[in-house]
């Protein structure tokens, strides 16, 4: 498409967020591009790899202990998106520090590390150890604390629905992260997301990522039961884009904190809608799982190449 006249940014050029300069504004979302270690050898017409032009890879969320994830099935596609109940399957913090993060640095992947925990002090401990282990790393740009994962908690409820909890987690992480960007990924499953963003900003976050998945449920008519063993899951994809846009607009107009927009972005037109509202960057999620070159293509299209 031809780019609108108001769009004057090259999203593949560096920009500053908090204390850090990122190489670009088109990112991949946590859980949708693994850890950023795979697929580098893949090629497509006009692209040397799926990472071309991508400003950051937000890693698969890492927890203090390794997690096997939820029972199968974990992912169900719908006409307009996907419902997942992965359960934060991951290698665990120890292995991530010892093997994954050094490999990302060696491969030159611009990295934002996604972390999840159940108590604020756990965030502080992980960020402290992460910062010590990555001293001198040039490709690690920041941390995104995952405060909103409905596919783990009982009944689909989110960990970070309380502004005081959000603030406590941000403060705990910020103390040990003086020179990298700190983002908080917020849940949309609240009536006032701007209150969460305001609390995160007051506690020292550099930006918020909005939104995470929406709580959803799908039914198998053959059995008459929910398709996911844990009943609820996180719904993502094109169907949630209008919700994400509304939440991003609410945060920007009320909380006055930088926003990285997430939710239903599959092409340059989708991304432009978030930028039009004032988002400083965007993350590509579900679409990236269907086509690993989606983020690279959006970056190229919005750069006018």
| Angle, CA of 63, 69 and 72, to the nearest 5° | 165
Residue 7 lies in a domain: no
- Strands, sheet with 214-216, edge to edge from the N-terminal-most edge strand: 75-78, 81-84, 233-236, 214-216
Ordered DSSP codes for 59-84: PPPB-SS-B--PPSP-EEEETTEEEE
For residue 88, being part of any structural domain is answered with yes
The mean of the pLDDT values for the chain is 94
Q: Which two tokens stand for residue 52?
A: 């071309």
Q: Which residue has the tokens 């405060």?
A: 147
DSSP 8-class letter at 141 = E
The answer to the question of residue 10 being in a domain is no
Q: Which domain holds residue 211?
A: 15-302
Task: Answer yes or no: is 3 within a domain.
Answer: no
> Which pLDDT tens digit goes with each residue over 253-266?
999 899 999 999 99
The length of the chain is 305
**If you average pLDDT over residues 193-202, what whole number do you get?**
97
Percent of the chain's residues with pLDDT above 90? 89
List the catalytic residue out of 104, 134, 149, 197: 149
Residue 1 lies in a domain: no
Structural domain includes residue 108:
yes
> HSE of 65 in the Cβ direction (CA atoms, 13 Å)?
4
Mean pLDDT (whole number) for 69-75: 91
Strand 81-84 to 233-236 pairing: antiparallel
pLDDT-based confidence at residue 153 (cuts at 50, 70, 90): very low
- Helix (H) or strand (E) holding 242, with range, is helix 241-254
Indicate whether 179 belongs to any domain. Answer: yes
169 as an active site residue: the answer is no
- Could you give the 3-state DSSP secondary structure of residue 54? coil
Q: What is the CATH number of the domain that holds 240?
A: 3.20.20.70
- The sign of the CA dihedral 38, 43, 44, 49 is positive
- Cα separation, 20 vs 69, in Å, equals 33
β-pair partners for 20 = 17
pTM, entire model = 0.95
pLDDT in tens, 94-116: 999 999 999 999 999 999 999 99
**Do the Cβ atoms of 297 and 290 come closer than 8 Å?**
no
The single-letter DSSP state of residue 5 is T
Query: Is 9 part of a structural domain of the chain?
Result: no
Number of domains in the chain: 1
Where residue 75 falls among pLDDT bands split at 50, 70, 90?
Answer: very high
305 falls in which pLDDT band (50, 70, 90)?
A: confident
Q: pLDDT by residue (tens digit) across 157-177?
A: 456 889 999 999 999 999 999
Distance of CA 273 to the CA centre of its chain: 18
Q: Closest by alpha carbon to 30, among 174, 147, 177, 204?
A: 147
């Amino acid at each position: 498409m031809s780019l609108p006249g108001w769009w004057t940014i090259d999203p593949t050029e560096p920009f500053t967020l908090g204390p850090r300069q990122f190489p670009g504004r088109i990112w991949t979302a946590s859980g949708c591009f693994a850890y950023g270690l795979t697929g580098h050898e893949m090629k497509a017409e006009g692209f040397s790899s799926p990472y071309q032009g991508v400003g950051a890879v937000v890693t698969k969320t890492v927890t203090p202990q390794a997690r096997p994830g939820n029972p199968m099935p974990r992912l169900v596609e719908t006409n307009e998106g996907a419902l997942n109940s992965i359960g934060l399957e991951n290698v665990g913090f120890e292995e991530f520090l010892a093997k994954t993060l050094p490999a990302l640095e060696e491969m030159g992947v611009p990295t934002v590390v996604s972390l999840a925990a159940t108590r604020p002090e756990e965030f502080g401990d992980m960020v402290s150890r992460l910062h010590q282990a990555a001293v001198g790393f040039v490709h690690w740009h920041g941390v995104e604390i995952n405060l909103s994962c409905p596919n783990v908690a009982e009944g689909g409820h989110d960990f970070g629905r309380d502004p005081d909890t959000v603030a406590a987690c941000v403060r705990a992480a910020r103390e040990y992260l003086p020179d990298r960007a700190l983002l908080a990924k917020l849940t949309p499953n609240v009536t006032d997301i701007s209150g969460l963003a305001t609390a995160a900003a007051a506690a020292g976050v550099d930006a918020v990522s909005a939104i995470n998945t929406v709580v959803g449920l799908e039914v198998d008519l053959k059995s008459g039961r929910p398709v996911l063993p844990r009943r609820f899951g996180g719904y993502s994809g094109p169907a949630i884009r209008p919700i994400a846009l509304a939440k991003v607009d609410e945060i920007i107009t009320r909380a006055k904190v930088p926003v990285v927009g997430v939710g239903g972005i599959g092409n340059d037109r989708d991304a432009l809608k978030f930028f039009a509202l004032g988002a400083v960057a965007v993350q590509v999620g579900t679409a990236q799982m269907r086509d690993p070159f989606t983020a690279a293509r959006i970056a190229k299209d919005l750069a006018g190449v």
